[in-house]
Amino acid sequence: MVRLRRQTVARYGLAVFLFVLAACGSATPAPTATPLPPPPTLPPAWTVTPTFTPLPPTLTRTPTLTPTITPTLSREAICEQFEVVHQLRNGIELEDDGILAMIIESPPGTTVRFLARHTLSSQNLGLDMNANGDTIIMQLALSQFPVLGSYRWSVVVLTEEYGELCEQRGTFRLVAAPPDGDDENATNTPAQETPTADS
């Protein structure tokens, strides 16, 4: 009976030994650590030089000018401010050695146009004057007119918005001046002039 127990214990111990041995054989082996390479050695004369990045220039803000808006005048307001002073009554005779003069007031920013057209030949003489707020004094030598005879004249205001406005017009007759040295009591004989439509 004692011998049987010893054989049983021996068999049991052998079975436990084989189980432990099998367990040890199937165990995962521990990982092997790989040493890192040493850092590179700098040359003995090498010195770290700091690099500075300059800051961008500070932007200076330029103030924006606000444009001044000039209100557009109406047709009526322009004509109320337009004034022409002259002595050209209809049919007046002007000698060709004289001066045709006008004093003109017109709103700033407008253009004043004077135009004289010969009634028969349609030849004309014109003048544009810019109004900048000052009084316009027009002086035009009558010797510049192309021919003698009757003329129709006009003065208008030119605007970008409305075109021609505020027309003033009339007629005059251009005649030759008498020769120098004539006696005051002598009969004034008119010089030969170009025929006109109203002669």
Three-state SS for the chain is CHHHHHHHHHHHHHHHHHHHHHHHHCCCCCCCCCCCCCCCCCCCCCCCCCCCCCCCCCCCCCCCCCCCCCCCCCHHHHHHHCEEECCCCCCEEEECCCEEEEEEECCCCEEEEEEEEECCCCCEEEEEEEECCCCEEEEEEHHHCCCCEEEEEEEEEEECCCEEEEEEEEEEEEECCCCCCCCCCCCCCCCCCCCCCCC
Q: What is the pLDDT of residue 131?
A: 87
pLDDT in tens, the chain (199 residues): 544 455 554 565 555 555 555 555 555 555 566 666 666 665 555 565 666 666 666 666 666 766 666 668 899 999 999 999 998 889 999 999 999 999 999 999 899 999 999 999 999 999 999 988 789 999 999 999 999 999 999 999 998 889 999 999 999 999 999 987 654 544 444 444 444 444 4
Q: What is the pLDDT of residue 175?
A: 96
Fold of 75-175: Immunoglobulin-like (2.60.40)
Q: How is the chain split into domains, by residue range?
A: 75-175
Q: What is the pLDDT of residue 73?
A: 86
